[in-house]
Amino acid sequence: MIPVEFDYYRPKDMAGVLSLLEEHGDDARVMAGGHSLIPMMKLRMAGVPHLIDLQDVGGLSDIEITGDTIKLGALVTQADIIDHVELAKTAPILREAALQIADPQVRYMGTIGGNVANGDPGNDMPGLMQCLDATFTLIGPDGERQVAARDFYEAAYMTDREDDEVLTAISFARPQGGYAYEKQKRKIGDYATAAAAVQIVKQDGKCSSVSIAMTNLSDTPIYSEDAGEALVGTSVDKAALKAAVAAMLGDIDPSEDNRGPVAFKKHVAGVILSRAIERAWSRA
């Protein structure tokens, strides 16, 4: 299908973007890479009378690694993440996740900003950003504000971003310890049936800290503090692993769809989380 008629804008700076958002209100949508929004427009699941493309706005494609802080502009693509040597050394879980998103054609255009801002529960980066305890920078008519990734998602396709705001950057502390991003999907290019992001720190043979989040198992990504607490202070043995999985299963709320019934999704979630924890622990 093709989308309904719309007006297209390509402003040169953020002031122009905000001016258009103020002028057109709820009828305007901002587009980064377009790989989430355009398909929805083609299927007529989203009507966008005024489409604002961010591609010509400067400064949104930068990757900054300064001291213990990493900052990614909203227009950084998945391919940029994969190809950035220093980023791969500093936060390797990002590259591991990006390599599992869709296919190369999509990764060349799909942006991290669009992936996290859209609010699609099937997207990979929202859960990963919760695992990394990232902060999103939003700019609107009242200026700039920061929102924690763990507070950003409210329901499917509903976030803390106001209609007149633009997500411009994502920042987080340099990850420590072992990492893993595990994903089960039906075929190449598909959304996850279940995916898990894990960062874990080992001290004296014990887990001293851990962060765990899962994707596409509820209306929002799920950061499970209880799953992490089940591992802290343990040697991540079978009993601890089982407790962490049980805690996560208590937090998720999958629904039946073409990826399987609820019982199957819970089973897959447990398997994927176990694999992610074990692989992150082996790297810690």
Tens digits of per-residue pLDDT, 138-179? 999 999 999 999 999 999 999 999 999 999 999 999 999 999
Residue (of 162, 157, 131) closest to 144 by Cα position: 162
Q: What is the pLDDT of residue 84?
A: 98
Residue 115 in this model has a pLDDT that exceeds 80? yes
CA distance 111 to 35: 8
Whole-number Cα distances in Å, 152 to 37, 129, 242: 19, 10, 29
Cβ within 8 Å of residue 261, ≥6 positions away: none
Residue 35 in this model has a pLDDT that exceeds 80? no
Residue 282: CA count within 13 A, CB half-sphere: 7
Strand-strand pairing, 194-203 and 178-184:
antiparallel
User: Do residues 196 and 273 touch, judged by C-beta distance below 8 A?
Assistant: yes
Whole-number Cα distances in Å, 279 to 74, 206, 254: 29, 15, 24
User: Do residues 79 and 54 touch, judged by C-beta distance below 8 A?
Assistant: no
Residue (of 156, 155, 158, 133) closest to 146 by Cα position: 133
CA distance 57 to 111: 14
Q: What is the pLDDT of residue 3?
A: 79
Which 3 state secondary structure label does DSSP give 118? coil
Tens digits of per-residue pLDDT, 63-79? 999 999 999 999 999 99
- Quick count: other Cβ atoms within 10 Å of Cβ 233? 10
**Which domains, ranges and CATH numbers included, belong to the chain?**
7-53 (3.30.43.10), 63-173 (3.30.465.10), 178-283 (3.30.390.50)
- The pLDDT of 107-136, averaged and rounded, is 96
Q: Left, alpha or beta for 251 (phi > 0: left; psi -120 to 50: alpha)?
A: alpha
Query: The pTM is what?
Result: 0.94
- The pLDDT of 199-213, averaged and rounded, is 98
